Every structure is written in structure tokens, then in C-alpha cells.
Amino acid sequence: MRRNAFRHALLVAAALLAAAPAARADWAVLRNGQRLHVTGYERRGSDVVLRLAGGEATLPASAVLRFEPEDIFTAAAPAPAQGPYGAIVAKAASQNGLDRNLLSSVIRAESDFHSRAVSPKGALGLMQLMPATARSLAVRNPFNPGENVQAGARYLKELLGKFGTVNLALAAYNAGPGNVSLYGGVPPFRETRDYIARVRRDMKKKTGPAPSSGLVKMVCSPFEPRCREESPTTAEASSFNQR
């Protein structure tokens, strides 16, 4: 009976996918080898509900191996900073030992280079410093581009020193250091994973394609406490480089 219900759920999921338009989604990797595009998922007891572009499908949790974001991120190599405030970014990056492209891409993701940006949560300026963070970094005017970027660069440097990798530092910048420590890695928040992807994509625009050995993908599962980094297969790396 359980097997028939599982088979029926797979047929429903396939029908919904066929009827739905293409959309940004993640992969649900099943034990039987199938891969389904999902826009979200939720654990309900012994089942997992897959949210598809055309509806929902419920499967036994044991049928799902893992969830993989569509994006494969590239490790960026140093290159000249681009975009507005280039001199300010270059100076702050140099003084704090940061990759100029990383700092520039964080600003792009945070405020799109709007120096007077204010978020709904109260984050301020180019690097969207929260008021408490700005005070701890002795920022007098968070809307001053030089002061904001210098403080944001110092904070990003602290996060890199604390967590050791760019992905974890970006996750902490977006979701807070407490959440990274709580989950022992990149928190399984869609917003945070998308934020890391945006920064990585912007860095790739500045640096160009990286060699296959520099590719990393994020793998997230509702049954594991945190996301993890994995090297993609040769086929995945080849597919990414051909995009």
C-alpha cells in the first residue's frame, strides 16, 4: 500500500512539473535516481512536502536523499575592483587584506551601491550595517561611503577570521554569526543561500570563468543540521562552464 502511494505521488509530481512553466528552483534528489525541481520543501512527520511550480507533492521522507541548489558557485581570483566607489573599495580591501572583488560584490548584493540605502530592518548605507554593528565599529556617519565601506570591510575581515571560508563569512554577514555557529555551517535559509549565490555570481562577472577545480556547490538537506560544500561531478562542472 505504501509503495503504491509513493508511486502515485511521483506520478502526480511529474504531471505538475510537466504542466508548470520553467522557474528558478532547487533539485530534490530521490533514492530511486529521480531529480525533481522544487521551489521549497517542508518536513511533516515521516513525510516531506515538495513545493513545485505547479502545486505540491507529498513523499515519504526516506525517499529523499538531499536537496541541491541549481547554482554552482565559482571561487573567485583577484582582479581589479569594478563598479562605483572603486577607489574607496580598493583602499578598504587593501587595508583589511580582502579581495577587492569580494568586497565590491558584497556591496552590490547589499545595497546595489546606493550610499543612502535603508533596509526594512534598519540596515544602513552601502554595506547595510545594522545600527548596533555600526556603533561597535565606531561609525559616526553610516551614510558616508568611505566610513561605511571601511567599517563593513573590517567586519567582513572579522567574519573571515572567525569562520575561515568565504561562504561561511558571507552566511554570517547575511544571517548573523550566531546562526552560522548554531548550524555549524551555512544555515539552511533560502535567503542566505541566494545571497551567497548573488555574491558569487557578481564575483564571476568580474573575474571570468574559473577552472573546474575551483567549482563548489552547496548541498542542503532537511535531514541534516547544515548545508555543506561539495565538489561537483565532471559532468556538472562541464555543464556549468558551458553556460
Nearest residue to 115 (alpha-carbon basis) of 104, 106, 105, 124: 124
Q: Where are the beta strands (DSSP E) in the chain?
A: 26-30, 35-38, 40-44, 47-52, 55-60, 64-69, 72-74, 215-219, 228-230
Strand 26-30 to 35-38 pairing:
antiparallel
Tally helices (H) and strands (E) across the chain.
Answer: 9, 9
42 as an active site residue: the answer is no
Catalytic residue among 42, 68, 110, 229: 110
The answer to whether residues 31 and 223 touch, using CB atoms and an 8 Å cutoff, is no
CA 110 centroid distance within chain: 13
Q: What residues are annotated to the active site?
A: 110
